[in-house]
Amino acid sequence: MPDQATHTVRTVLKRFPAAGPYGSWPADEYAAQKQAQGQPARVVMDLHADDFLVIADSPAPH
């Protein structure tokens, strides 16, 4: 029986410019707020746009 790949859908919840004030972590703070609300949010870097993205992964519908 072949393995079935698990697919996920990534949703960008919010973008933050990487050039924020020194010592400020707004993307991480926003992701923590979403996690506290029960949403599985995490921060990734969009190198091309020089932005931090807060994203949520969810299973793809079949």
Q: 6 to each of 3, 43, 54, 59, how far by Cα in Å?
A: 9, 21, 21, 8
Compute the average pLDDT of residues 11-19: 94
Burial tier of 54 (Cβ tally within 10 Å: 0-12, 13-18, 19+): buried
Is residue 4 predicted with pLDDT exceeding 80? Answer: no
Look up the pTM and report it: 0.79
Is residue 1 predicted with pLDDT exceeding 50? Answer: no
What pLDDT is attached to residue 62?
A: 63
Provide, rounded to the nearest whole percent, the portion of the chain with pLDDT above 90. Answer: 65
Is residue 9 predicted with pLDDT exceeding 70? Answer: yes
